[in-house]
Structure 1
Amino acid sequence: MYDLTGFQRDLLYVIAGLDDPHGLAIKDELEEYYESEIHHGRLYPNLDTLVEKGLAEKGELDRRTNFYSLTARGSREIEARREWESEYVDESVSATAN
């Protein structure tokens, strides 16, 4: 996961948090988080990168709509990232910052 951009990491987390989301559902979640518009020209090439890297899979809901899901490797990468983050950010620090 070290070779992903922050945006790609966020995409992976959104895919993990939703049940087989389609592209527009992912876009909506990220727009809410970033508080700005996510253009299709940014979204779909980055989703394709996650698929190419074997972190996500793309399936077809119908002829016009794809859905995305994590692969086993994608899940392992998220878990490894969370473990790495926990070495530097203690949960109690996060709780006191609020």
Structure 2
Amino acid sequence: MYDLTGFQRDLLTVTAGLDEPHGLAIKDELENYYEKEIHHGRLYPNLDTLADKGLIEKGEADRRTNVYSVTRRGEREIEARREWEDKYVDDLL
């Protein structure tokens, strides 16, 4: 996950935490977190990058709506990142 941007890591994390997330649900969660608008031109290319890297899968809910799910590889990457972070911040919590 070292090669992802912070925004891509956040996308992956939010996708993992939502039930059958679609683009607008992911967008809404990130807008709440960042407290600013996330434009489609930023959101969807980054979701495509995560799919290209094999971290998420993109499927169709209907002709207009894509749904995303974290792959097993994506789950392993999230777990590895959390373990790495814990080495540095575990004493703070």
Give 1:67 shift: 0.3
Gaps of 5+ in 2: none
CA distance in 1, matches of 2:13, 2:30: 10
Q: CA deviation at 1:20?
A: 1.4
**CA distance, structure 2, for counterparts of residue 77 and residue 93 of structure 1:** 23
CA distance in 1, matches of 2:23, 2:62: 13
What is the TM-score when the length of structure 1 is the normalising length? 0.93
What is the match of residue 50 of structure 2?
A: 50
Q: Which amino acid aligns with 2:64?
A: R
Instruction: Name the CA distance, whole Å, in 1 between partners of 2:88 and 2:55.
Output: 24
Match of 1:7 in 2: 7
Q: Give 1:3's aligned amino acid.
A: D
Alpha carbon RMSD of aligned pairs, Å? 0.7
| SS at structure 2 position matched to 1:58 | strand
Write the distance in 1 (CA, Å) between the matches of 2:84 and 2:24. 30
State the percentage of identical aligned residues. 81
Gaps of 5+ in 1: none
Map 1:1-98; keep pairs closer than 5 Å.
1-90=1-90, 92-94=91-93
CA separation in 2, counterparts of 1:55 and 1:47? 10
Q: Can you list the C-alpha shifts for 1:11-46, whole angstroms capped at 9, x where unaligned?
A: 000000001100000000000000000000000000
Q: Give runs of ≥4 in structure 1 deviating > 2 Å.
A: none
Aligned pair count?
93
